[in-house]
Amino acid sequence: MKLKDKYMQLAIRGRRTIVISDIHGEKALFQQLLDQVGFSADDILIIGGDIIDKGQDSIGTMHYVFELLKQPNVHMIEGNCDRILEELYEDWLYDYMAYRRTFVHDYLEKVGRTPADYPSQQQLADDILAHYGHYREQLAALPTAIETEDFLFVHAGVDDDYLETDRERALSMPNFYKRHHQLDKYIVVGHYPACNYVEGGLFSHAVKINDTRKVIAIDGGNQVKPSGQLNALIIEADGSLKSEFVDAHPEALVIQSFEVSYQTPHTFTYPEFDIMVEEIDPYFTLAVHSQSGTEFMVKTEYIQGDCGHYRLKDDYTDLFLDVEVGKRVKVVDDTCLGYILIKKGSLVGWVPEEVLAH
C-alpha cells in the first residue's frame, strides 16, 4: 500500500486549523489542550496519528476521537501505533506488550483478565475484535496523509516521490525532521519527539519549525519522555503559525529568584548515552560525552554503570534555568541531591532546590 492509495485533499485556507498528534491514550490531556486553544466548530482539527498505546486510557481516547470524527471539521491521519487492532494475531504481540503498554493492556484491565486467562493469543484477539472490530475498520480507513494548499500532514514522513511512499514508511520512518524533501509545502510530522532535534544545546519539547527544509515536528514527547508534553500546532486563518501545549507535571512556586550567568548548554538524547567519567562528585560530576567528545557537568544521579563503563540514565540537559520570584514552574524530577529538574514553558533545566516552595 502506498501513500497515494489512502490520501485525502483538504482546503483549509481562511480557517484556523489545529494539529495535534501522538496523544497516546491521554484523553484528559487532549481534552485540556482542546479547551486551552478554544477549539470550536469554526476550526479545523487534524489529529496526526498515534491516538493509542503508551498512555493510560487508550480505549477512552479511541471512543472520544471517533466521536469527534463525526464532526465534519475533524480529520485524522493514521499513526504506526493505531494499527494495533490489525496486529492482534502477530506472533510478536506478547513480546511487544512486555515493554510497551498497549490498547490490549487497557482491554485486559477493563475486563479483569490477563493473557493467561485465554487458551491462546488467537482467542484473546478474537475477544478484543468482537468488541472493537468496528474500530479496526474505521482505523484502517483513515488516510495516511492529508494534503492542503500549503501543508502535507503525515505521521512520520515521506520519500522524494511523496505519493509513492510506502504506507509502512510513512507511518514509521525515523528522524524525518532532519531530512530534505522535494515538496514545495511544509510537511508536518509527529512520531519522533521534537526534543530529539536539539537546537542551541537546549532540551525543549516545543514544536520545531525548519523554514529551510520546510518541515515541522510537533510531537512533544507526551508519554515517551518524562518531561514531555502534548503540543498543538495552530495554523491561523491568515496562515501564520503558533503553538500551545499542556502537560501533567506538578506546579511549584518560585520563592527566590535565581539568575544564571553565561552558560553554554548541552543536551544529549536517546540513544547517544555513553559518557566517560573519572571522579564522582555527590552533586555534579565532570563527564565527556563519548559520541560527541563534549565535556559537560552531569547531575550525578543521571549516571549509570561502573567499572569504567558509564552512560546517562536518560535524556540529559546541563542547562540551569533563570527563575523569578512569584512565578510558577513545573517540576520534572525532585529526587536529586540539592537541585530540581524543572520546566519553564517547554524548556527543561535545573534550579537549586531552595528557590522553589516544594
CB of 133 or CB of 174, closer to Mn ion? 174
Q: Do the strands 356-357 and 347-352 form a parallel or antiparallel pair, or are they unpaired?
A: unpaired
Of 96, 43, 97, 49, nearest to 71 by C-alpha is 43
The separation between CA 147 and the C-alpha centre of its own chain, rounded to angstroms, equals: 22
All three cell numbers of 346, joined, read: 517547554
Piece in contact with Mn ion (CB under 5 A), picked from 53-61, 80-88, 195-203, 323-331: 80-88
Piece in contact with Mn ion (CB under 5 A), picked from 5-13, 76-84, 299-307, 318-326: 76-84
CB of 166 or CB of 301, closer to Mn ion? 166
CB of 48 or CB of 60, closer to Mn ion? 48
Round to the nearest angstrom and report the end-to-end CA distance of the chain. Answer: 53
Q: How far is the CB of 205 from Mn ion (least distance, A)?
A: 16
- Residue among 32, 73, 80, 138 that touches Mn ion (CB under 5 A): 80
Site for Mn ion in 100-119 (CB under 5 A): none
Q: How far is the CB of 50 from Mn ion (least distance, A)?
A: 4
CB of 49 or CB of 265, closer to Mn ion? 49
* Residues 232 and 45: beta-carbon distance below 8 Å: no
Q: Which residue is nearest to Mn ion (CB)?
A: 191
Q: How far is the CB of 291 from Mn ion (least distance, A)?
A: 24
* Residues 234 and 242: beta-carbon distance below 8 Å: yes
Residues 6+ apart with CB under 8 A from 62: 51, 52, 103, 132, 135
Q: How far is the CB of 53 from Mn ion (least distance, A)?
A: 9
| Residue whose C-alpha cell reads 514522513 in the numeric block | 157
Q: How far is the CB of 65 from Mn ion (least distance, A)?
A: 15
CB of 197 or CB of 258, closer to Mn ion? 197
CB of 79 or CB of 157, closer to Mn ion? 79
Site for Mn ion in 160-199 (CB under 5 A): 191
Which contacts of 176-179 are long-range, i.e. CB under 8 A and separated by 24 or more positions?
176/215, 176/217, 177/208, 177/210, 177/213, 177/215, 177/217, 179/213, 179/215
> According to the binding rule CB under 5 A, does residue 79 interact with Mn ion?
yes
Q: In the complex, which residues of this chain contact Mn ion (CB under 5 A)? A: 50, 79-80, 191
